[in-house]
Every structure is written in structure tokens, then in C-alpha cells.
Structure 1
Amino acid sequence: MDEGTTRSGGLGLFTAIAFAVGNMVGAGVFVLSGLVVDVAGPSAVVSYILCGILVMFSGLSYAALASIYPEDGGGYLFARRMLGPVPGFIAGWAMYISLTIASAFILLGFGIYANLLLGTSFDPRYFALAALVLLSFLNIHGLSEAGKLEVALVVSKVAILLGLIIAGLFYISASDFTPFFASGTGGVIDGMTMVFFAYIGFQVVALMGGEIKESSRNVPLATLAAIGIVAVIYTGVIVALLSANLPSYGEKSVFDAAAVLFGSLGATLVALGAVFSTLSSANANVIGASRITMEMAFEKQLPCRFSRLLHEQPVNSIILDAVLCCVLVIYGNLYFIVSLTNVTTLVTMALVNISAFILVRKEHLVPPEKTYFRMPLGVLIPALGFVSCIFMLATLNLLIILLGLAIILPGLVFYFVEDTPGGERIRREIGRRLGRKVK
């Protein structure tokens, strides 16, 4: 039996679900919900549900691969093991870039709700940049969220959102859904394109698979449970927004809806939950991005100096992450950042679905005594997952797609760059940090 199924320490199932839900329930709900209603109207409900179904196909692919490879690395590890070094590098680099870009959106959300909480009217970018500096400093010094703290934060913000959803259900009426397709079916598709961003956090479970006990069982369960829980929360929040009958919808609509349904105290509570939620999600992205670069450096797919350790953290990787995020915070807007994140994430997810397709075709090579998650309906699920990724890419602006690829593909330069003589020493340090043996 593999190490992942015998591990007694590490994170339990509930904590793994909390990490995934916590990573998804952030700016994706507090900021994005109002933007999606603005684009799709009441049919935003359909956008969230349909996108959740499409993401579930890819989630099943992640679950199957994670049960075979119960280690850290997520999509990068799966693509490298199943498709080879170069596709693996592309998947890993795309993951690193997508987490960095997503952090910019999340931190702008932090800035928006920090203003609402404090009653100020500063440019949200000031708060976003201050938070970015703080998180980068803390991560360089090795301070990151603990499992128990993450569970507490998730329970708190989910409780706040559930209160909003319940209030919305009391006030909602049929007229709030009329006209349902306010922007036509095109609005539903545009909404789905935006909503995809809100679901991508499910990958965090596979990314930290090596830290989850009984990972061959718990990683698939946590992945699927998190997607299902978050789909319900997102849909419920849309209902709450519609029940508030706001004159217009945008990035602070969850706050405005809370003010209508609960008064100023409720709105303040929502703003407080959003501030902690976005800060936690951004921190999780910084941790995830740095973990990917350490994995890639250890596997000699990145020059080890890229992940040189200081205080046990890959300082150069964190600094580059901060610089890229800073540029996007200053020059990007919410719609642009969401679309760019989707391009880079969809590249990784497409490669993971291809990997899962190959896994199902070669399932007979898996040792019969190995416990793993068997894909229902065989190759149909990863095939649908891949098609859904291509469909989501096709809904994006061509210029955004080309820009996303232009960010990913030059990263191949790192793959071919020779390491310095000191690289092996850094690799041994990374190996100790990851608990791996240097071959």
C-alpha cells in the first residue's frame, strides 16, 4: 500500500475540505458575484451551476490522479508523471503564473472591502499593495496559516454567507428573477467565463496531497466535497443579491445586499468577513505558488537558484511573485485579471484531463493491490473535462488568450537554462525542506 494511504499524521479530511473551500470562498464570492449578476442578470444562477458541473469533470480527473500519486505537486506532478517533462513544466509554470495573477484579483478585493469596513474612499490599490508587501514579508520569514486557524476562518466566513443566504431566501420572490435571461444566453456564457475563476481553488487539495493523511482516499473526497459545497454557497449568494433588489450590481454588491437585508451592522460584518477571507486566500496563493517552484526546482525543471531558500522559504520565487502581482494590481482591472487567470489555469487543467484520460486507458498497469479512486464512466469524464476546458477557452477574448500563452510559453526558457554549480546544494536544502531524498 502506498505512503498516502498509510500516513497517520498530517491534515485530516475536514481540514483539507476547509483549505479548499477557504481558497474558493474569497474574492470569488465577495467581489465576483455582483460582477456576474451585472453581466448575466438573474441567469447568473445558471452560470454558477453550469460552471460548477463543468469544473466537476476536471475535479474527478484531479481526484483519480491524486489517489495514484498522493504527493505534493497537484497538476504539475500529474502532467509530469503521465505526459513527460516538458508538458509537466508547462503545467507547473502555468499553475505558478495563475496563482500569481489570481492573487492580484484577490488583493484588489481586499482593498475594496477594506475601504467599506473602514468607511474610507482610498484607491483600493493602496490597500492591495500594502497587503501584498505584508504577505510577502511574512512568507519570506516562514510564517503561514495553520490548519486550525484556516478551519476557524472558513467556518466564520461560511457562517456569515449562510446568514446572508437564509435572509435572501426569506425575501426572494418570483419577480426578482424576471426577466430571467436579461442578457440572453450570451449573458449566461459570459457569466460562466467569469465564474470559472471562482472555482479554481479546488486544486489546492491536490497541490498539498503529500500533507494530507490517507491522501488516496481523502484527497478525492475533499476535492469533490469542496466543489459541491462552494457551488451551493455561490448559488445561494446570487439569490441573496437578487432578493436585495439593488439599483445596480458590481464589485461591492455583497456588502450592499447585506446592508439592505441586515442593516449597517450586517454590512460591517460582511465587510469584516471579506477582509479576512481575501487576506487568507491571497496568503494561500502565495504559499501554493512557492510550493510549486520548490517542487519544480527539486525535480530539476527550474534552476534551483529560482527557489533559493531563506528562512526555509523560496525567497526569489516569492519576490518574483510579488513583483508580477504588483504590476497587475497597479495596471490591471478586475475583468482583465479574471480572464487572464482563467487562461493560465485552463492550460493546466487541460493537461491534467489528458493525463487522467491516459490513466484510465492504462488502468490495467496499476497494481491490483493499490487503493485508488476509479473514474466513473471511464474515459468519458476526463474527455468531458478536456472539452470543457477548450470550451471555456473559446469563450475568452482572443487577445487575452494570446497574452496568457505569451506569459506561459516564455517560461520554457527556465526549463533549458543550466543551473549554477551551487544549484545542487540548494536542491539538497529544498529536498530537506520537502522531506525528500536527493537521488
Structure 2
Amino acid sequence: MDDRLTRRLGLGDAVVLGLGSMIGAGVFAAFAPAARAAGAGLLLGLAVAAVVAYCNATSSARLAALYPESGGTYVYGRERLGPFSGYLAGWGFVVGKTASCAAMALTVGAYLAPSLVRPIAVAAVVALTTLNWFGVHKSALVTRVIVAVVLGVLAAVVVAGWAGGDPQAAHLTPVTGHGVLGVLQAAGFLFFAFAGYARIATLGEEVREPARTIPRAIPLALGIALVVYAALAVTVLAVLGPDGAGGSDAPLVAVVQATPWSWLVPVVRVGAAVAALGSLLALVLGVSRTTFAMARDRHLPHALAAVHPRYGVPHRAEVAVGAVVVAVVLLVDVRGAIGFSSVTVLAYYAIANASALTLDRDRGTRVVPALGLVGCLVVAVSLPAAAVISGVAVLTVGALWWVVRRSVSGRG
């Protein structure tokens, strides 16, 4: 049985998949909690999140060029720091991003039909899992369409806010907002919207010329997302003010409602649902590939390491991930799903930066991964206590499973 994947993705596909992961439902939801935490300091929080994301992206790109395999930081940690670090990164990614998948699916339902949130969420998971079964290239084509639609909607929000609203420069100060802790918490919330860039690295085994393509695709996708987020953040704050942005569950909708262009509200709502579908599509791709890599190394059931003989995708891993996401959708709400996801994702990237620190100097400066490692840890512990506790608990369970498994293997 062949357990190698087919290289079908070029630079454009890789950038689009990264954008599809970042410019998704997070951009429609992250500004409200960030504004509540930091007020106008949301802008400074965005800058902090961008710096941490850039460091993570740079470290991931260097490592992906050296290890162009499916699995991302699971592979990097294993090769540079040892099996346990790789396993813990993979565990944190799979568990945290599975919860993110559920959150995205629930977001689709919440925007399309609040009274049918869970049935629509389940239908979305089933539909996208089926799409992934028929090949990653088809998924990239769908993501390209989704990204184009969402960017159009976001551009409409910015134009409406500045042309038809009442933007005020005074709403953009003070940049320190509610203090250092508030800015760091805002950075943590906004980092959730950035976190998809490394999805490109997790697809490393399916990218053509990975040593050249991945280091170019990750920073390019991140840069485009940052420009979009900065434009939206300034628009939301200028039109609504810090209190208005923090008090709205859908601040982009609130911006349009504050203008004579309120006919755009349904368009923004549909755009949010489409964005959530795009994020869900890319998330399922990334989680299934990491599951595939861990199963191939027997950290998860080896049966999940199968590759479909016709479509060249890890079909069993995709079905397993889809089934778990459906179960989570039926059991939790959006806040519960996202609560510990942010902490585990930051832990995942902390391991990526620690892995990059072990590279020779000829592969780049060590300042960037060092800054990324510190940034991930500081932002993670600055998040609300409930999120930190739940995230640490998940990582602890994973570590205990590693110990039990190694003990059983040793006795065997």
C-alpha cells in the first residue's frame, strides 16, 4: 500500500489555501472580543499578533523547506527536538484545530439560520469532507472561489464604512487601550484569525517544488491577510468606536448598518457563512494531513495512514476527522470550541519556533524564532484564565497518553 501523497499544488494554490485558512470566519468574529479587551489598543494588539505570526511563519517556512512532508510542526518537532515534542505538537494541533473546525461549522449555521445551527453545521462538515475525498486540487479550486467572494465582501464593508458612515479619528486613540494585558489579550484573539498560514506547511507533501514554493507562499499569504485585517480594524474602530465594536457580536454587520448602505447586511451575513466554509475546508485539510502523518508514525491507529488509490488523498484520516468534528458540533457551542483552541495552537507554534532555533545559522538568524517562541508563550498565558486552563489540560492529557503508550510498548 502506497502511503505517499501526490504533489499537485503550485504557488498560487498554496497561497490561496493559506488565505482561505486566515481570511475566514475569524475576521468576522475576532474584532469584537479584541475591542472589549483592549479598546483602541486593538490596533496595537493586531500589530503584536502580526509580529508573532510573522515569526511563526518564517520559522515554519524554513523548517518546511528542510522537511517537505505532511504534518507541519509535528514533523519539525520530531526531527529537531525529539519524538515527544513532535507528538505533543501534533496532539495540540489535531485536538485544537478539530475544535476550530467545529467552531467554523457552527458559525456557518449561526449566520445562515440561527434556529438550525447544528443541523446546518453537520451538513457543512459532511459536504466538505466529501469534497476533500475527491482530491486536494479540487479543494484548492473551491477555496480560490471562496477567497475571492470573501475579499469582495470585506472590501464592500471598508468602502461602506468610509463613504457612508461617520468615521472619526478620535476613535483610534489611545493606542495603548486598556493597558498591556488588554493589548496582549487582543493579540491572542486576533492571532486566532491569523493562525491558518501554516496550513501550507501541513500540506508540504502535496506541494510542487516545496523547498521553493513553501517559503514564498507562507509570507505572501500572511502579508495579504495583514493588509486586509488592518484596513478592517481601522474601519471598525473609526465608524463604531471601541465601545461599539466591543459591544457587537457582528461588528462588520454593525458597520454596514451604521451607513445608508444597509442593503449590504444580507451580503455580509452570507459572506460570513462563505468565509466560515472556506476556513472549515482548509482546517479539515490540515487536521486530516497531520492525523495521517501521526498515524503513519503509529502515534494514532495505523489504519488512518491509508492513501486512496485513485484520488491520492488520506481518505480514512479525512473521514475520521469529519466524524469527530460532527460529534463536537453536537456537544459544544462556538465559545466552548474556541476556548482552548487558541492556547493549543500557540503551543504548537512555540514548538515550531523552538525547532527552528536548532537550525544552523546559515539557514537564517535565530532572533526570529526566539522572538516567536517568547511571543507565543506570553500571548498564550495572557488569554482569559478559562482558556489557559482548558488548553493546558488538553496538552497534559496528550502528554499522559504518550507516557502510558511508551510504558505499554516497553512492557511489550
Q: TM-score w.r.t. structure 1 length? A: 0.80
The question of whether the paired residues in 2 share the 8 Å contact of 1:346 and 1:393 is answered with: yes
Q: Match of 1:382, as an amino acid?
A: P
Higher mean C-alpha displacement, 299-308 vs 322-331: 322-331
Q: Is 1:60 aligned with 2:58?
A: yes
Alignment partner of 1:215 out of 189, 210, 217? 210
Give me the whole-angstrom Cα distance separating, in 2, the residues matched to 1:319 and 1:415.
24
- Aligned position for 1:323: 324
Aligned length: 391
Structure 1 segments (4+ residues) deviating >4 Å: 136-139, 141-145, 178-182, 306-314, 414-418
The question of whether the paired residues in 1 share the 8 Å contact of 2:52 and 2:375 is answered with: yes
- Aligned position for 1:122: 115
Q: Is 1:149 aligned with 2:147?
A: no
Alpha-carbon offset, residue 302 of structure 1: 2.2
Give me the whole-angstrom Cα distance separating, in 1, the residues matched to 2:36 and 2:387.
21
The question of whether the paired residues in 2 share the 8 Å contact of 1:303 and 1:414 is answered with: no
Alpha-carbon offset, residue 298 of structure 1: 1.5
Q: Is 1:359 aligned with 2:346?
A: no
Alpha-carbon offset, residue 136 of structure 1: 4.4
The question of whether the paired residues in 2 share the 8 Å contact of 1:294 and 1:314 is answered with: no
Q: Is 1:293 aligned with 2:291?
A: yes
SS at match of 1:146: helix
- Aligned position for 2:394: 407
The question of whether the paired residues in 2 share the 8 Å contact of 1:19 and 1:205 is answered with: yes
Q: Match of 1:405, as an amino acid?
A: V
Higher mean C-alpha displacement, 53-62 vs 248-257: 248-257
The question of whether the paired residues in 2 share the 8 Å contact of 1:346 and 1:389 is answered with: yes
The question of whether the paired residues in 2 share the 8 Å contact of 1:32 and 1:251 is answered with: no
- Aligned position for 2:3: none
- Aligned position for 2:95: 97
The question of whether the paired residues in 1 share the 8 Å contact of 2:200 and 2:217 is answered with: yes
Alignment partner of 1:183 out of 157, 170, 178? 178
Alpha-carbon offset, residue 355 of structure 1: 1.0
Alpha-carbon offset, residue 154 of structure 1: 1.0
Alignment partner of 2:271 out of 270, 273, 277? 273
- Aligned position for 2:410: none
Q: Match of 2:31, as an amino acid?
A: S
Q: Is 1:30 aligned with 2:25?
A: no
Higher mean C-alpha displacement, 165-174 vs 54-63: 165-174
Give me the whole-angstrom Cα distance separating, in 2, the residues matched to 1:147 and 1:262.
36
Alignment partner of 1:166 out of 138, 148, 159? 159
Q: Which runs of 5+ in 2 are unaligned?
A: 1-5, 407-412
- Aligned position for 1:4: none
- Aligned position for 2:189: 194
Higher mean C-alpha displacement, 401-410 vs 285-294: 401-410
Q: Match of 2:338, as an amino acid?
A: V
* Cα 1:320/1:277, change in 2 over 3 Å: closer
Correspondences of 1:66-77 after superposition (within 5 Å): 66-77=64-75
Q: Match of 2:387, as an amino acid?
A: I
The question of whether the paired residues in 2 share the 8 Å contact of 1:194 and 1:338 is answered with: no
Give me the whole-angstrom Cα distance separating, in 2, the residues matched to 1:54 and 1:193.
10
Alpha-carbon offset, residue 23 of structure 1: 0.6
Higher mean C-alpha displacement, 73-82 vs 168-177: 168-177
- Aligned position for 1:239: 234
The question of whether the paired residues in 2 share the 8 Å contact of 1:108 and 1:329 is answered with: no
Alpha-carbon offset, residue 14 of structure 1: 2.1
Higher mean C-alpha displacement, 222-231 vs 102-111: 102-111
Alpha-carbon offset, residue 398 of structure 1: 4.6
* Cα 1:256/1:178, change in 2 over 3 Å: same
The question of whether the paired residues in 1 share the 8 Å contact of 2:143 and 2:281 is answered with: no
Q: Match of 2:64, as an amino acid?
A: A
Give me the whole-angstrom Cα distance separating, in 2, the residues matched to 1:228 and 1:95.
23
Give me the whole-angstrom Cα distance separating, in 2, the residues matched to 1:12 and 1:415.
40
Q: Is 1:384 aligned with 2:385?
A: no
* Cα 1:298/1:9, change in 2 over 3 Å: closer
Give me the whole-angstrom Cα distance separating, in 2, the residues matched to 1:127 and 1:301.
33
The question of whether the paired residues in 2 share the 8 Å contact of 1:23 and 1:281 is answered with: yes
Give me the whole-angstrom Cα distance separating, in 2, the residues matched to 1:411 and 1:324.
18
Give me the whole-angstrom Cα distance separating, in 2, the residues matched to 1:209 and 1:152.
22
* Cα 1:328/1:402, change in 2 over 3 Å: farther
Deviations along 1:257-284, one digit per CA (max 9) or x if unpaired, are 2233462332222222211111121122
Deviations along 1:29-52, one digit per CA (max 9) or x if unpaired, are 012223322332222122112210
Q: Match of 2:202, as an amino acid?
A: L
The question of whether the paired residues in 1 share the 8 Å contact of 2:9 and 2:208 is answered with: yes
Alpha-carbon offset, residue 337 of structure 1: 3.5
Higher mean C-alpha displacement, 322-331 vs 194-203: 322-331
Higher mean C-alpha displacement, 182-191 vs 324-333: 324-333
The question of whether the paired residues in 2 share the 8 Å contact of 1:165 and 1:240 is answered with: yes
- Aligned position for 1:225: 220
The question of whether the paired residues in 1 share the 8 Å contact of 2:126 and 2:322 is answered with: no
Give me the whole-angstrom Cα distance separating, in 2, the residues matched to 1:164 and 1:33.
14
Q: Match of 1:331, as an amino acid?
A: V
The question of whether the paired residues in 2 share the 8 Å contact of 1:206 and 1:219 is answered with: yes
Higher mean C-alpha displacement, 257-266 vs 87-96: 257-266
Alpha-carbon offset, residue 243 of structure 1: 3.5
The question of whether the paired residues in 2 share the 8 Å contact of 1:34 and 1:241 is answered with: no
SS at match of 1:183: coil
Q: Match of 1:276, as an amino acid?
A: V
Give me the whole-angstrom Cα distance separating, in 1, the residues matched to 2:90 and 2:190.
23
The question of whether the paired residues in 2 share the 8 Å contact of 1:302 and 1:415 is answered with: no
Alpha-carbon offset, residue 321 of structure 1: 5.3
Q: Match of 1:193, as an amino acid?
A: G
Alpha-carbon offset, residue 55 of structure 1: 1.4
Q: Which runs of 5+ in 1 are unaligned?
A: 1-7, 116-120, 364-373, 419-439
